[in-house]
Structures are given as C-alpha cells and as structure tokens.
Amino acid sequence: MNSAIQTEWLAYENGHFRLAELDVHIPHGRITAIVGPNGSGKSTLLRLMAGLLKPDGGDIIIDGRAAAAYSRTDYAKKLAMLPQSKDMTPDLTVKELVAYGRSPHQRAFRHRLTSDDNAIIDWALGCMRIRSYEHRPFHSLSGGEQQKARIAMALAQKTGILLLDEPTTYLDIAHQLELLTMLAKLNRDHGITIVMVLHDLQQSAAFCHHLIAMRDGEQFASGDPKELLTPRFMRDVFHIHAKVSFADQYPIIVPIIQEEDEKMIIVTNTSQITKGDGEKLIERFDRIGKVEGMEGFLGLEVLFTQNLKEYDEVSIVTRWNSKEDFQNWTRSEAFRESHSGRKTPDYIISNKITFQEVKIRRNPLPPSETVEPIAQ
C-alpha cells in the first residue's frame, strides 16, 4: 500500500516534550486516526506533517517528495488541515470564509474568484451540507456549523490530503456522527486521504481504516483498528482496564472502573531471643504494647520459632494504613512509658525492624449465588 505521507526518523523537541524518531506511514486514500493519551504527541505529529512545526530531524515525504522541497503555496495545494486552535475568526459570512480556501490557487494580485473557484467553493459547501446558510455570518452559527464551515474552507483548497485536529471535540454526539459520516463519504467519493486526531476510540475504529497509537512521543502501534483495540492495548496505551467487544462491527469499550489502589505498611520486628525465653518477649509485648487502640492499626501476627539451634526467634508483624500511623504508635504515651526507664531485657540478643509498603489487591470474587435465609 503506498503512502500519502511517510515520515522517516522524524524528531521534534520542545522543552520537556520530545518526539522520538518516528517512522509513520499514512496510507493513501484511506482514513487514518491518531489516538493516544493527552500529551502523547498526537497533535504535534499532525502539526509536523502539516508543516506548522519544523522538525528537528528526519524527513516528511508527501506523495513521494520531501516536504521541504515544496513551496508554501504548493504545499497548501497538496495538504489542507483543520487546526485545533480556537482562533478569533474575522467577521465574515460562511461563503466568504470558505472562499479563503482558494487563495493558494490564486495569483498574487487577483482577488476575483473565477468560475472554477466558485464551482469548487460550492462543492465544498455542498460536501459539508452548509449551502443553505452560506450567506449567514460565521459568528451566528452554532459550534457544529462553525466546524463544518472551517472544514469546508480546507476542502476548498482541493487537496488530496486533509488533516483534522480533533474535529469532533466540543460537538454533541449527533454532530460528531454527522461530521464523521461526511468525512467518510468524502473519502469514499473523492478518494481524499484523511488523517485525524480523535479521542473517541470507538469512533476511530468504526470510521477509520488505519490507526496510529501514540504513547510518550513514540508510535506505540499501528494497523487495523479492529485488530489493535484489545484490553491489552487499552492497558498499554491508556493505562486503563477495559473490556472490548464488537457489536455489528462497532467496537464497544467498557472500562472496568477500579478504586484507587489501597496500600498498607507492614512492619516486621524480628528479635533473636536466648533459647527458651521467647515466651517472655511475647508476654511483655502483650502487657505493654497497647497497639490495638491506635489509629490506622490493621492487625498483627506474632510468629514464634523455637526450632533454631542457638536462639529462639520472635517476629511481631504489625500492619498499618500508613507509615505515619506506625510512627504515631512509637511516639504514643503508652509506647514511651513501656520503653523508657526500662532496660532492654537481656534475653534479647538482637533486634531488626523492616518496613514494607504493599499494595492491596483483592480479586473481586464472582458473584456467588448464595441463598438468602428465609425469614421464619
């Protein structure tokens, strides 16, 4: 499959943000979606391809020719883009705005539209189904209508490639679907190569032939969206757990909502005790430890090992919500009382404390079919 756009070792850096050597392939005459989490470089990739940003390295090849070899106007005849920016748009009617799309084709001092120009403007208005309000001022339109007018302006450039940066953001679901259907029709009827940054993965799989997934400035995966979209993909790219299924070719992604990971602290206090004296330590801890009432205390185990040769070993394992809770215990009145003014008993040979911070992961059990006891 030949490429409409191909990047080779494309690199771009801006502050902390960095696009690593990208080899991206945009198939000719198809619809490609670029997806990925916020800040993964989707828009940057699109803006690089549109020539709005200068790459720090590598090449962009448009229709077999290096992008740098095109003049600005020739580029504007090859590739059009709907930028994401919400620039202040001048006070113009829809048709006047769309007519600006013809400017790369006009000569420097000719402002008058030829009949060809007018035919193309009319075609662009028709494609986006906004002919009925072509004479209304742009500012009086709704968000969805404005978006269509802006796309019509890009269409009026009559390019083989159309890039769109989040065309459906800010639109309601009906307008989103309407817009994507129009774009699909444009691609089908006129063979326009379409590349768009989309946030909705379901839409990207339903409407696009090709998917590019970005993660941390790299191309993480690319290919047929219906094959790419798996629970594993969701986890790797977006760090979420989700089930993916298809209903009549339309993918359905159901996120599994997880509570934030719970954590706890395990403090293990292991003492070596002179042989035969282990019971004494346990008895002492029971007497003066006073741990049960402390805040954040989750539970304790006492492990007593007597089968060692030289000494007994006692481990007192306490579990806490946080390290602070444990430290509060060691600073508590009860604890201080029990430790101050008393010598460490001489049956303790050595003593070691370890902390562990662990995640609590409880696998939810499948719902059991317990039978409710019937009230008598």
Partner 1 sequence: MNRETRAKRRLILLAVSLPLLLTCAIAGLVIGPVPIPLEDVWNVLIAGDASTYRVILLDIRLPRLLVGMLTGACLAASGAILQSVMRNPLADPGIIGVSAGGGFAAVLVMVALPQLSYLLPAAAFTGALIASLVVYLMAWDKGASPVKIVLAGIAVNALMGALMNGVMVMYSDRVQSVLPWLAGGLNGRGWHHLSFMLPYAAVGLLLTIPAIRSANLLQLGDDSAQLLGQRVERQRMLLVVLAALLAGAAVSAAGLIAFVGLVIPHALRLLIGDDYRYLLPLSIIYGAVLVAVSDTLARTLFDPAELPVGILLACIGAPFFLYLLRRRSNWR
Span interacting with partner 1, options 122-130, 153-161, 191-199, 215-223, rule CB under 8 A: 153-161
**Under the criterion CB under 8 A, does residue 136 sit at the interface with partner 1?**
yes
Other residues' Cβ atoms within 10 Å of the Cβ of residue 42: 23
Identify whether the C-beta of residue 198 lies closer than 8 Å to the C-beta of residue 251.
Answer: no
> Smallest distance, Å, CB 135 to partner 1?
4
C-alpha distance from residue 331 to each of 265, 273, 356 (Å): 17, 25, 20
CB of 196 to partner 1, least distance (A): 15
**95 vs 319 by CB, closer to partner 1:** 95
Q: Which stretch binds partner 1 (CB under 8 A): 21-29, 79-87, 283-291, 356-364?
A: 79-87
Would you say 86 or 362 has its CB closer to partner 1?
Answer: 86
Cβ proximity to partner 1: between 83 and 231 the closer is 83
Q: Which is nearer to partner 1, 153 or 273 (CB)?
A: 153
75 is an interface residue for partner 1 by CB under 8 A: yes
Report how many helices (DSSP H) and strands (DSSP E) the chain contains, helices first: 12, 17
Bridge partners, residue 112, by sequence: none
The C-alpha atoms of residue 45 and residue 105 are separated, in whole angstroms, by: 26
For the CB of residue 104, give the shortest distance to partner 1 in the complex, in Å: 4
Residue 74: helix, strand or coil by DSSP? helix
* Coil, strand or helix at 38: coil
Segment 281-340, which members bind partner 1 (CB under 8 A)?
none
Kindly state the smallest distance separating residue 182's Cβ from partner 1, in Å: 20
Instruction: Calculate the CA 238 to chain-centre distance.
Output: 4
Token pair for 86: 């919400």
Q: Which of 176, 207, 175 is nearest to 30 (CA)?
A: 207
Which CB, 25 or 95, lies closer to partner 1?
A: 95
Both tokens of 341, joined, read 């003014």
Report the run of H or E that residue 95 belongs to, with start and end. helix 94-99
Q: 283: exposed, middle or buried (C-beta count within 10 Å: 0-12, 13-18, 19+)? A: exposed
- Most distant CA atoms of the chain, gap in Å: 106
- Binding-residue pattern over the window 80 to 119 for partner 1, x denoting contact by CB under 8 A: xx-x-x-xxxxxxx-xx---xx-xx-x-xx-x--------
Binding to partner 1 in span 44-73, by CB under 8 A: 50-52, 72-73
Could you say which of 39, 137, 223, 299 contacts partner 1 (CB under 8 A)? 137
Our CB check for partner 1 shows the closer of 100 and 297 to be 100
Select the span of 132-140, 242-250, 260-268, 336-344 touching partner 1 (CB under 8 A).
132-140
Amino acid letter for position 16: H
Piece of 26-34, 57-65, 133-141, 354-362 that binds partner 1 (CB under 8 A):
133-141
Q: Judging by DSSP bridges, how do beta strands 193-197 and 31-35 pair with one another?
A: parallel
CA distance 314 to 272: 7
Nearer to partner 1, 46 or 179 (CB): 46
Figure out which of the listed residues 44, 147, 157, 219 binds partner 1, where binding follows CB under 8 A: 157
Closest separation in Å from C-beta 293 to partner 1:
59
Does position 16 bind partner 1 by CB under 8 A? no
Q: Does 169 bind partner 1 (CB under 8 A)?
A: no
Query: CB under 8 Å, gap of 24 or more: what pairs does 331-337 form?
Result: 332/290, 332/294, 334/288, 334/289, 334/290, 335/289, 335/290, 337/288
Q: How far is the CB of 90 from partner 1 (least distance, A)?
A: 4
Sign of CA dihedral 12, 14, 19, 25: negative
135 part of the interface to partner 1, by CB under 8 A: yes
- For residue 140, give Cα distances in angstroms to 87, 114, 128, 146, 315: 16, 28, 17, 9, 75
Min dist. Cβ of residue 151 to partner 1 (A): 12
Which of 34, 67, 76, 244 lies at the binding interface for partner 1 (CB under 8 A)?
76
Please state, in angstroms and rounded to a whole number, the distance separating the CA atoms of residues 238 and 102.
Answer: 40
Per CB under 8 A, residues contacting partner 1 are: 50-52, 72-77, 80-81, 83, 85, 87-93, 95-96, 100-101, 103-104, 106, 108-109, 111, 135-137, 153-154, 157
